Structure 1
Amino acid sequence: MAFETHYSLRSLIGAGKNRSAHKKVFSFDLFDTLLIRRIHDPDLVKLPVARYISRLAARARISVGWQSVQRQRDQIEAAHRARTGQQFDDHEACYPRFMGELLEQLFGDSYSPGLLGEVTDFELKMENSMLVPRLELVEWLETLWTAGKEIYIISDMYLPATHLEKLVEHAGLSGYVTAVVSSADTFLAKASGRAFSHVAKKFGIDPQSWVHIGDNPISDGLRAAEFGIESLIIRDPAEEQRRSIVKRYYNYSDGKPFWRGRLLQQLMAPHEKENSRRSPLYVEGYNFIGPLIGLFVQRVAELCLENDIKKIFFLSREGWTFKNYWEKAVPILYAGKKVPDIEYLYVSRMALAPAACAVQGLTKTNASIAFLPPGNRDFRDLCRIFGLEAEKFSGILAKHGIGEDTCLSHIHDGYDPQNRKRFETMLEDAEFQGEVKRQTRDSNLALQRYLEDIGFFHHDKVAVVDIGWLGSIQRFLFEAVSHREDIPQCFGYLFGATRGIPYPVEEKNRIAGVVYDRDRFDLAASTLFYARDIFEEACRAPHPTLNGYECDGDGYKLVFRKTDDEIGRAELEQDSYFAPLQQGIIDSAERFGAAAALLGYEFADYKPWINSVLVNKLAFPAAREVAQIRHQHHLDDFHGQKKPKADFAKGFTPLWDRSQLQLKFDPFIRARAFFRHLRERINE
């Protein structure tokens, strides 16, 4: 009996349906038939398992590199197959046997039976992360089951049936399967044809009532036909092309670092049943911002492990997304390794700015930070930011010859440099600073109570992770509590550090940009300047901005801004618009963790790809990309309502503020913007 080869699922399923009326039993190959792999080579799943075992060994104080683990696994598995081949037609192996032997060799007296279970669970988790059910075959499987057919899954695989059943269950197929059969249990495989006779005998199946579906023309086709089973073989050119693309990316990545990021992105891509229609914003979140956040989180983990940091605090509203991404990606990416504990810290510039003044007063640098936003003009704006009551400074202001509404910003009408000098002289006045400290004392006390409550001071080292850009939040946080003897050493890790105002680095207060840092010239990564607001809005937490800390008896309370005013409503509108983008980011996290774990690359290996993506997306975007992800409303809690000089906004309009007509029809607009950006970065 010959077997049939079909070159599309539609053709194969059509042939199967024609036979379903007079056939009782249908069996399916599992891998590359019912389930396709994201990777081209199934052996690649073994590599993260080797790294996992190496990490478990390190925790048991056994030094063995993952490459050595993999070599020993290959040797032991080959020996098992050779011994099996002496007794059976098929050279098969059984995972619990050879993996148990490997672990006993590696761990010696430290070995316990539970260790095999841990490693098995991780290997199955990696397998599941790389497997995708074929939608059309699954739907046909359900139809066959509903029609009362017996359905078997038969696989030539070193995983026994009990393990394969977990993969089948994860794929959502277990409810439609009579039994799962693996060659690892009997060493009788489809490759020799022995598996078919074994299944027929065990389950009492007449070969004349049986149809088998698979992808291997020998194991699934010829051998089944020799036993009298009708066999249908799938040879899907589209699926073969997809695997060849993955293989090409994998081969390129060995010598050309750019392709490492492209390969990562390819392994994260949804397929078959996962690949439903999504909004353009969701796709941008999943394909663009999500992987960037994943690599940022991976680098933060690397830095914490290098510096022996046991605790991470994710700061500000953007830290909420970073923390969520960490929780989904890091457990599989760093499986077997002790990573830092994490916590979300409720902070904001507005909440921390008053607390930062309680001990040191209002510094010249912090006052300069307050006047960076163009909407801030005078002393009243300063008081709004630092939580001060302006009227209580009337006498001090009069003494120095300035008023509450005296212009102190050079970009506003009425600015006189002498007034700014008078203001800076007032900053040196002990009476002024005494009043500042008095007014901000409760805010500082409430902050300290909050930090004590979450255990901030219980650590020698902590990482504080934020989006960026000046590091103002970490600056204010450290200044607010730097007087305490139990303050931990703070390692600040920012998505991007623009450093518009020099940061006060000291032994206990360090800061570094991960994706971009102005202290390290990186022209490509500096394109973050084009659209920083996008990253802030995309990562923003679903709760309102924190306005401040207040004492509440012997405790404290967190005060959030209201959402029922004009600014609050605009923020809610922006959150609603960006909801698909944020969902795409979060949905990408688990896929990122699994793909990055399989590849085993470090952050530095992906940097050429990161830079390429940033330049293409931010400096040379398509007009539709700008229209889709450009923010509608951006809340800057420091920004006041004053209007700067009429000519302040004149000059070159940033690329991401241009109209759709300009972006579509001006062929040189992106090049002009890029050369201007290049000149600005060189002149910094």
Structure 2
Amino acid sequence: MSRLLSQIEDNPEYKVIFTDLFDTLIHRNVHPNYTLKLWGKFMIRELGLSIEVDQLFSIRAEALSFVSKQQNLKKVEVAYISVVEEVYKRLVNSDMISGIPLSRFENVFERADFVVETSVQFKNEALIADLRLLKDKGYPIYLISDFYLPESLIIQILDFNGFTDLFQQVFVSCSLGKSKEKGSIYPYVLDQTATDPKQAVMMGDNKGSDIHKAEKYGLHTIYLKHTKHKIRNRKNLFGSDLRAFNKVCREIEHNCEKSPHPFSEFVLHFYFFTERLYIKAKNAGVNNLFFLAREGLYLKRLFDAYQEMNRFTQEVKINTHYLKISRHSALQIALKPLQEEDFKAFKGSLGQMSISDFLNGLDMSEADIQHILVDLDGDSAEVLPEFFRSDIFNRLKENNTFISQYEKYRTNQKTAFAHYLENFGVDFEKEGVHLVDVGWGGTMQENLYKYWKKKIPVTGYYLGLKEVYNIQPGTKRYGLNFSIYPSRNHTDDVLMANGQLYEQLLAAPHGSTIGYTINNLVPDAVYFHEENEKQVFEKLVYPVQEYMFDQFKELFENLRPIDYEQDTAQKYLTDLALRSGILGKKKNAAFIDQLSRGFYQNVGQNKVGVAYSPNQIKESKLSLLVGFIKSPEKMFRYLVKIKPFMYAKGIYWMSWPVNLTYYYIRFNFWFKRKWLGKGLTN
């Protein structure tokens, strides 16, 4: 029998039990005041406030003090709604909030308090078990709490922890305007429960409020010292958010390194992208996000999980959709009539193709293609560097069969795509379009903007931006992990170096979208899944994605009770990218080699496989060396290719000197921060 059970059962005078809640039945793994900082973090995130966490924390503290003095009440006696209204008033009058009604502010305020509390709590299982035994033996148990959250929220917290049924009734100071601290709540509770104080016992950890004040009104008391919990609360005054953040991220990274899944530590990149996307979308008031095929499928899965775990879905949930599209299909739906189309969208590598590549991409019958090729009398397989400026293309535009089939294909694609979009049930004209993809420039975004005749804004949220095309007010785009727009810094250079690997780790279980069709009045996308690519996904990528998803959820739970800035996350991601790219083990190089064999490009020549080769580098060795010494981050894109290249050549054992470059890069960054702090060395 426990000490508490013997204390109560051995005393025949004890008929009714009153108990405290916080630091008695429920404890926190953070300092009590830290919960209010976390509340500020969630308020800013959910309402899109442009304010620092510490400032919002101070505003709430000042608001509580003000109302407490104004109403001549102890702080724990102040009505919760009074604090909510005072905080709201201060934010409105300081132009820190606008366009958010009090009702919504109150809902988010309350939800943030609940989410924070339940994120940092753990139960005193032994004490709760003792009380349950006493309840089963017929002892009525009442909860008395001095707390700033109202009775309704306290009951929600009890429900969450699974022991609401333990209590006959719950009494909370801020809901009654009476407190244990002042002593005024005791006569009220005794009266409400028709309890003789000589037959009641009050148990708690606060010697003043739970013991002395209760004894003043004739109650018996049991003092629960809970020394180790009080020491923990004192210790939690110290420490560092940065240290806590790094510890969580390092643990996840360590898990991934020990696992049989190469590059699964990239879940950290995807986690912070998801978090930033959520914050950005909330700030912009976005209702619908369209995740673009194919990398968007896994990103959507992560975002949906983030929203679900975030537990704010009852407030304003962002709807997510999967848009089956590719660079190829996006180019097709944006095509204009032949006499108006300049094909400028097919720039760079997109314009490198043969006449056969182009005609096959327009879904023409084999008979029509052969008829056109005979008329043109040229080398149908010759890949032309600028196909749309070639003589054979100029002759193609004058071919009657092509003119007819081009227009038919163009209009069919537009019609099928229009019906496909209708199925989403989104008012695009009212909301605009908000796209999510891995990156890198916004080709699909720009073609969708053209599809809507530049009348509907199309906004892009990307893991990263590596190219700047023709960004307009109607095609704003954001690289959330890295971006060269509006300018780049050393972290952008590092994080963008391994763009191909992001794509490969975000691969989908289906093929590339090559167009749109309507079958039995149902519009849908048409896929082509290259067999090599399919096998690579099933054997290599899928297991990594499943493992990353589990680590993503663990990362969420462990980072939730930490208040950190995105700059902190960015520094960690930058160093992670350096370590992954330079210090990676042999299994990583082997993984890249296998992945690259199945990398399918769905535009232009539709190549399968991509190879790392030093012949692709146009600069001289001397200029590369000078560039590395001066700005090693700009050369990092070459460094990440060395080990995979050496593995493919069978000389991986010679790659160990590459590891030394990591330490030089770290030194270079430190030196520039320390001695070239004016930032004039770009």
Instruction: Using structure 1 for the length normalisation, give the TM-score.
Output: 0.67
**Residue in structure 2 matched with residue 95 of structure 1 by the alignment:** 80
Q: Aligned match of 1:315 in 270, 292, 296?
A: 292
Q: Aligned match of 2:436 in 465, 469, 485?
A: 465
**Residue in structure 2 matched with residue 232 of structure 1 by the alignment:** 224
Q: Tell whether 2:591 aligns with 1:609.
A: no
Query: 1:670: how far off?
Result: 6.1
Q: What pairs with 1:179-194 in structure 2 (closer than 5 Å)?
A: 179-192=169-182
622-631 or 348-357, larger mean C-alpha shift: 622-631
Counterpart of 1:168 in 2: which secondary structure? helix
Counterpart of 2:147 in 1: which secondary structure? coil
Report the residue type matching 1:571 in the other structure. Answer: F
Q: Aligned match of 1:348 in 326, 334, 342?
A: 326
CA deviation string 1:527-564 (max 9, x = no partner): 2334435544665667665443113476633234569x
**Residue in structure 1 matched with residue 110 of structure 2 by the alignment:** 124
659-668 or 392-401, larger mean C-alpha shift: 659-668
**Distance 1:219-1:402 versus aligned 2 partners, 3 A rule:** farther
CA deviation string 1:256-306 (max 9, x = no partner): xxx5xx788899999xxxxxxx9898995876532332113323444x46x
Q: Tell whether 2:121 aligns with 1:145.
A: no
- Higher RCO (Cα < 8 Å, 6 or more apart): 1
Q: What pairs with 1:426-575 in structure 2 (closer than 5 Å)?
A: 426-429=392-395, 430-431=397-398, 434=403, 436-454=406-424, 455=426, 458-459=429-430, 461-479=432-450, 481=451, 484=453, 487-499=455-467, 503-506=469-472, 508-519=474-485, 520-533=487-500, 535-536=502-503, 545-552=512-519, 556-561=523-528, 567-573=533-539, 574-575=541-542
> C-alpha separation between the residues in 2 aligned to 1:139 and 1:624?
47
Q: Is the 8 A contact 1:315 1:346 kept in 2?
A: yes
Q: Is the 8 A contact 2:45 2:279 kept in 1?
A: no
> C-alpha separation between the residues in 1 aligned to 2:10 and 2:259?
44
CA deviation string 1:634-667 (max 9, x = no partner): 7545252378799868996626848799799936
**Residue in structure 2 matched with residue 654 of structure 1 by the alignment:** 641
Q: Aligned match of 2:381 in 379, 397, 405?
A: 405
Query: 1:241: how far off?
Result: 6.9
**Distance 1:195-1:625 versus aligned 2 partners, 3 A rule:** farther
Q: Is the 8 A contact 1:538 1:581 kept in 2?
A: no
> C-alpha separation between the residues in 1 aligned to 2:132 and 2:412?
69
Q: Tell whether 2:346 aligns with 1:366.
A: yes
Q: Is the 8 A contact 2:599 2:610 kept in 1?
A: no
Counterpart of 1:493 in 2: which secondary structure? strand
**Distance 1:145-1:29 versus aligned 2 partners, 3 A rule:** same
Counterpart of 2:382 in 1: which secondary structure? coil
Counterpart of 1:654 in 2: which secondary structure? helix
> C-alpha separation between the residues in 1 aligned to 2:609 and 2:84?
69
Counterpart of 1:620 in 2: which secondary structure? helix
**Residue in structure 1 matched with residue 675 of structure 2 by the alignment:** none
Q: Is the 8 A contact 1:55 1:337 kept in 2?
A: no
> C-alpha separation between the residues in 1 aligned to 2:266 and 2:612?
37
> C-alpha separation between the residues in 1 aligned to 2:293 and 2:681?
31
**Residue in structure 1 matched with residue 545 of structure 2 by the alignment:** 578
> C-alpha separation between the residues in 2 aligned to 1:537 and 1:199?
64
Q: Is the 8 A contact 2:462 2:478 kept in 1?
A: yes
**Residue in structure 2 matched with residue 299 of structure 1 by the alignment:** 280
**Gapped runs of 5+ residues in structure 1?**
1-12, 57-64, 109-114, 250-258, 271-277, 410-419
> C-alpha separation between the residues in 1 aligned to 2:250 and 2:125?
20
> C-alpha separation between the residues in 1 aligned to 2:589 and 2:306?
27
**Residue in structure 2 matched with residue 244 of structure 1 by the alignment:** 237
**Distance 1:427-1:74 versus aligned 2 partners, 3 A rule:** farther
Q: Is the 8 A contact 1:619 1:670 kept in 2?
A: no
> C-alpha separation between the residues in 2 aligned to 1:102 and 1:224?
33
291-300 or 223-232, larger mean C-alpha shift: 223-232
CA deviation string 1:383-420 (max 9, x = no partner): 565645677445665777753433557xxxxxxxxxx6
**Distance 1:566-1:239 versus aligned 2 partners, 3 A rule:** farther
Q: Tell whether 2:271 aligns with 1:290.
A: yes
**Residue in structure 2 matched with residue 414 of structure 1 by the alignment:** none
**Gapped runs of 5+ residues in structure 2?**
50-55, 94-100, 252-257, 618-637, 670-679
Q: Is the 8 A contact 1:220 1:233 kept in 2?
A: no
Counterpart of 2:479 in 1: which secondary structure? strand
Query: 1:176: how far off?
Result: 3.4
**Distance 1:285-1:566 versus aligned 2 partners, 3 A rule:** closer
Counterpart of 2:480 in 1: which secondary structure? strand
Query: 1:494: how far off?
Result: 2.2
Query: 1:471: how far off?
Result: 2.0
Instruction: Using structure 2 for the length normalisation, give the TM-score.
Output: 0.67
Q: Is the 8 A contact 1:378 1:408 kept in 2?
A: yes
Q: Tell whether 2:36 aligns with 1:36.
A: no
**Distance 1:469-1:625 versus aligned 2 partners, 3 A rule:** farther
CA deviation string 1:555-577 (max 9, x = no partner): 633234569x5543442442343
**Distance 1:392-1:162 versus aligned 2 partners, 3 A rule:** closer
> C-alpha separation between the residues in 2 aligned to 1:683 and 1:43?
42
> C-alpha separation between the residues in 2 aligned to 1:267 and 1:380?
53
Root mean square deviation of aligned Cα: 5.6
> C-alpha separation between the residues in 2 aligned to 1:200 and 1:571?
67
**Residue in structure 2 matched with residue 425 of structure 1 by the alignment:** 391
Q: Tell whether 2:176 aligns with 1:173.
A: no
> C-alpha separation between the residues in 2 aligned to 1:653 and 1:99?
52
Report the residue type matching 2:79 in the other structure. Answer: C
**Residue in structure 1 matched with residue 69 of structure 2 by the alignment:** 78
Q: Is the 8 A contact 1:358 1:438 kept in 2?
A: no
> C-alpha separation between the residues in 2 aligned to 1:264 and 1:503?
36
> C-alpha separation between the residues in 1 aligned to 2:575 and 2:270?
13
Q: Is the 8 A contact 1:493 1:512 kept in 2?
A: yes
Q: Is the 8 A contact 1:155 1:182 kept in 2?
A: yes
> C-alpha separation between the residues in 2 aligned to 1:290 and 1:326?
9
Report the residue type matching 1:166 in the other structure. Answer: Q
Q: Percent identity?
A: 15
**Distance 1:280-1:213 versus aligned 2 partners, 3 A rule:** farther
**Distance 1:530-1:385 versus aligned 2 partners, 3 A rule:** farther
